[in-house]
Amino acid sequence: MTAPFLILETGQPVASMRRHGSFAHWIRVAAGLERDEAVVVDVEGGDDLPSREGFAGAIVTGSAAMVTDRHDWSERSAAWLRDAAHAGMPLLGICYGHQLIAHALGGEVGANPSGREMGTIRLDLHPPAAADPLFAGLPARIPAQATHLQSVLRLPDGATVLAKSAQDAAHAFRWGAAVWGLQFHPEFSTTHMRGYIRARSEALASEGRCGKRLAREVSAAPQARQVLRRFVRHARGSRAG
């Protein structure tokens, strides 16, 4: 039987988007995983963190929480992720998960000096991405969906930046051979992205930005989703090896 992936759920979508399911559901579907190929643990909701044994890898979801708030569930998850990373378990953090893994490994997370990054953005891949298992062969610039206020301001020692955007210098990183952080959302479809922009329309207006224009500019991001699916394949290959 194929080993399942563990999905650590650190939050839920905004209320207006919950009819589409949870973050864990969006990730599972985008990653091409069947129901029995993923085990979801709601760490924000108080679920206990399981043993690492028997999992092909772990994926950490996004959240409306802030890593800098140091919630008990978040710090417990960080300790678990730190141990898992040093044990060689394949890990992929998305948005909050990206920041949480960086924090767990000694990096620094805080408010992005450029403010909110939202919508379909453009990622510029750094030269090391050309040899990375998740990014190799992708164009030098790819579209991706993003929505965040905080960022990884300082990477953990030994981490390699793989991609940046105009507002975020560390949009993707790898640490060691099997740990990745993605500030962008590879699981977001255009429906998810537009829904989030609508949900944040008042906040965007208060920042002098037009949500309707941002929504019109949303486009598909197939290469970003490919990164997620490559993680699944790579983690399975690593376990088999």
Q: CB 196: neighbour CB atoms within 10 A?
A: 24
Q: Cα-flanking dihedrals φ and ψ of residue 57, to 5°? A: 175, 180
- Among the listed residues 103, 185, 192, 234, the single catalytic one is 185
The active-site residue out of 44, 95, 103, 148 is 95
Is residue 15 helix, strand or coil? helix
Burial class from Cβ neighbours inside 10 Å (0-12, 13-18, 19+) for residue 153 reads: middle
CB-facing half-sphere around the CA of 210: CA atoms within 13 A: 4
Catalytic annotation present for 187: yes
**Amino acid in position 141:** R
Structure tokens at 163: 């991609």
Candidate list 9, 44, 117, 187, residue with the active-site label: 187
Residues annotated as part of the active site? 95, 185, 187
